[in-house]
Structure 1
Amino acid sequence: MRRLSPRELRRLSRRFGLTFEELEGVEEVLIKLHDKQLVIKEPHVLVMKISGQRVFQVMGEVEEIPVEEKPPAIEIKEEDVQLVAAQAGVSLEEARKALEATKGDLAAAIIMLQESKRMSRQSS
């Protein structure tokens, strides 16, 4: 197969609706996956436009960074704290701690607090 000169390549690209453009000034490319991140520092990025779509070609040194999963923050409503405190007969602070321990599960928090009270009465 014969090599194409840059001029011939440009002409063929235009005929097929392809355009190539180098993206200047790119410092880093970050690709986030569910268990890790791929960081490409000082990459060479080429953008190809084909039929209205853009395709990015990224070349460079890849660094893999594992991602630690953070549990989602639990939002505990004040009404829930008051309900648990009233049902279990404990302070608002104890009710809030129980809701945090049970990840916002009202029934589990009430049962946990009632069991805790029952155990402390038995040991007295």
Structure 2
Amino acid sequence: MFGGGGGGLDPRKMKQMMKQMGIDVDELDAEEVVITKSDGEQLYFEDPDITVMDARGQETYQVVGEAQSREADAGAVGDASAVEAGADAAAGDDAIPDDDVEIVAQRAGVPEDEAREALEATDGDLANAIQRLE
């Protein structure tokens, strides 16, 4: 699509072009990524390669790795301690994670209480909350 032949673009040139279009690309260091599907099944990636693209405030995450599957009940045992540990921090607002509040507050340049209100008003949609605050 971008280049002639089958070789593709030089990664440096691709990064330079993306920067000119206002897209920042960074690597994210993570130990594990967990995706909980609507049927309760969990997919998890150990030591994934994660690329974050920020296109004018809209972040896109690309996770590369081998997905492993586990049943919802198997994950519930491990999740119980996390729920207990975070119960005090999430008192009263169990739908909005603190990490999301921090992201919205930083991106929109507002205090965390305003970011939380915007997230609650947009049902946890980060992009819409940021847009609402700008």
- Give 1 or 2: higher strand fraction: 1
Q: Tell me the TM-score normalised to structure 1 length.
A: 0.49
Q: Tell me the TM-score normalised to structure 2 length.
A: 0.46
Larger Rg: 1
